[in-house]
Each structure stands twice: as structure tokens, then as C-alpha cells.
Chains A and B, each alone.
Chain A
Amino acid sequence: MPVAKPAAAPSKPIRAKVVPIYSEFHPRWYRPRVSVYWWLGQWQYLKFILRELSSVFVAAFVVVTLFQLRALRQGPEAYARFQHWMQTPFAIALSVISFFFVMLHTITWFNLAPRAMPIRVRGKRVPEFLVAAPNYVIWLVVSVAVAWLVLK
């Protein structure tokens, strides 16, 4: 008994005819050129850029820490040289600037938590400083622990 063939797909794909619409005068978007120094105009913008730039000093810290690890690997003399380098005016200046930028990062990062995660108790929003507070407590505890281990 012959089996009916399944309906074959059309051999030629059906082409939809696309008629492009041409217009003689294409509308031009109004896009004013933004200056490269746009962030200098307002304190809020400047603060944003400073916060973003803190990442450069985070990376600088990692690089210095890697040099410290290398010195530790190489032995006591190499580590003494590293300690001496850390006392040069350049290294001190880098540390001071890095410290301020990293503190800016820490504070802005902690204070972001209540914005990212608003907590409500009985329908009322918990004040922002109460949501951010645990971050500061953890920070303090961890800092004391690290200092204790290093100074022990």
C-alpha cells in the first residue's frame, strides 16, 4: 500500500518583497557634542569621576602588594629594600593619595547599600544610615583583625 508522502516544503522560498522607503531629506538627529571635560562643570559629576578614578588606586595598591610579595619571596635583604622604597617621598605620596581615594571608594560603596536594597519594616523605610551601619561594623571588625594579625 503506497504511503502518502508528507507534504513537501515549497521548493522555492517565498520572498517577501521589501520596498524601501526613500526620502530625499533624511532627518538628522539633534545631538550636541558633549565636551570631554563635561564632568568638571558640577560637583556631582566631579564626585562621580573621582569615585570612578579610585579604581586606579585600588589597582596601584595591588601592584605594590605584588612587589611586597616578590620581596618576601626573595628574602630578608630584598624585603628590607622594599621597606626602604616605601619610605621614599614618591611612595609616601602614592600611599597618601591612594588612601584618600580608597576611603572615598569605601564610603561611597557602603552608602550605596541602602539605595540598592531599601529595607522596609511595617511599611516604613528604614533610614539609610541604619542600613549602611552593618557595613561599617564589619569594616571595623575586619580591620582590627587584620591589624592584630600583622602586629601580633
Chain B
Amino acid sequence: MSMERQSNEAFFWMLFSAGGVVAAILIPIHLLLFGLAFPLGWLHAPTYDHLMGLVRSPLVRVYLFVLCSLPLFHWAHRFRYTLYDGLQVKHLNEVIFTLCYGGAVAGTLLTGYMLWTMH
């Protein structure tokens, strides 16, 4: 088990790294607009129809898929090691690994399903 994980480490690190880039570049503007500027009335929120028009475009769907999926893998990697180093719960290593990456895979599948079946 531990040998297998070591050989997969590079793969998981790539996902972590790619997710880190996506999160660093894209999430601030999304949070600023949809989390602060629109709810607090700093800017006029886009209408439902405008957003649906955007989401109907295949390119925007790919964008949203990347925006949701890769950062989840970034989270899985970082959170795993935060628990490992920060809380020193080394004995639960396997459980934490399964929960973190299981969550990321589940989130990715859910995102894909929602975007795929959206009309």
C-alpha cells in the first residue's frame, strides 16, 4: 500500500499543483464578484438569463469544470498534509487519504454530471 502510494505521489502532486494554479488565478475574482460585489450591491448582479447564456456555451462549461474539479484535488492534497502535520493524526493516514481524495473525485463527478445535463 505504502509502496504503491509512493509511486503515485508524483501524479497527486501534479493535480495539487495544477489545482493550485487554477485556484490562485481564478478563485479571487469569482469570490470578489459573486461573494462580495453582487451580494453587497457594489455592482449590478448579472441576470439569470445572462448567466444561463454563458453556461450554455461549451467553452464556459469546460472552464467551470476545471474551476471546480482541479481545486478540489488541490484541497485534498493540502488538507491531508495539514491534518498529518498539524494535528499529527498519522495513525488515521489511510482514512484521511480516502476521505480527501474520495471527496475530490465525488465533487468532480458531480460537477461533470451537473454541467453535462444542464440545458
**A interface vs B, CB < 8 Å?**
34, 36, 39, 49, 52-56, 58-59, 61-66, 68-70, 72-73, 76, 79-80, 83, 86-87, 91-92, 94-96, 98-99, 102-103, 105-106, 109-110, 135, 138-139, 142-143, 146-147, 149-152
Which of B25, B32, B64, B72 makes the CB contact (< 8 A) with A99? B32
Q: Can you report 7 residue pairs joining A to B where beta carbons are below 8 Å apart? A: A52-B85, A58-B75, A72-B48, A92-B39, A109-B21, A110-B24, A146-B33
Q: Are A66 and B114 in contact (CB under 8 A)?
A: yes
CB-CB < 8 A to A94: which residues of B? 35
List chain B positions with a Cβ less than 8 A from chain A: 19-21, 23-36, 38-40, 43-46, 48, 50-52, 54-55, 64, 67-68, 71-72, 74-75, 77-79, 81-82, 85-88, 103, 107, 110-111, 114-115, 117-118
Pair B31/A95 contact, Cβ less than 8 Å: yes
Chain B residues in 8 Å Cβ range of A142: 25-26, 29
- Given the complex of chains A and B, what is the CA–CA distance between A19 and B54 in angstroms? 74
Contact between chains at A59 and B72 (CB < 8 Å) = yes
Q: Using a Cβ cutoff of 8 Å, how many contacts connect chains A and B?
A: 150
Complex CA gap A73/B67 in Å reads 18
Complex Cα gap A72–B25 (Å):
24
Is the CB–CB distance between A72 and B39 below 8 Å? no
B29 CB contact (under 8 Å) in A39, A58, A92, A147: A147
- Interface residue SS majority, chain B: helix
7 A-B pairs with least C-beta separation: A95-B35, A55-B78, A143-B29, A59-B75, A106-B24, A52-B82, A109-B24
Partner of A92, one of B40, B67, B71, B81: B40
| Interchain nearest-CB distance for A104 vs B (Å) | 10
Complex CA–CA separation, A27 to B23 (angstroms): 48
Give the Cβ gap from B28 to chain A, nearest Cβ, in Å.
Answer: 6
Contact with A69, one of B28, B75, B118 (Cβ below 8 angstroms)? B118
**Which residues of chain A are near B75, meaning CB under 8 Å?**
55-56, 58-59, 62
Partner among B28, B55, B87 whose Cβ is within 8 Å of the Cβ of A106 = B28
A72 with B36: CB separation less than 8 A: no
Q: How far apart are the CA atoms of A110 and B38 in the complex, in Å? A: 27
Give the distance to chain A from B114, nearest Cβ to Cβ, in Å.
5
Closest chain B CB from A33 CB (angstroms): 10
Q: Which residue of B lies closest to A76 (CB)?
A: B48
**In the bound complex, what is the Cα–Cα distance between A59 and B23 (angstroms)?**
10
Check if B114 sits within 8 Å of A70, measured CB to CB: yes
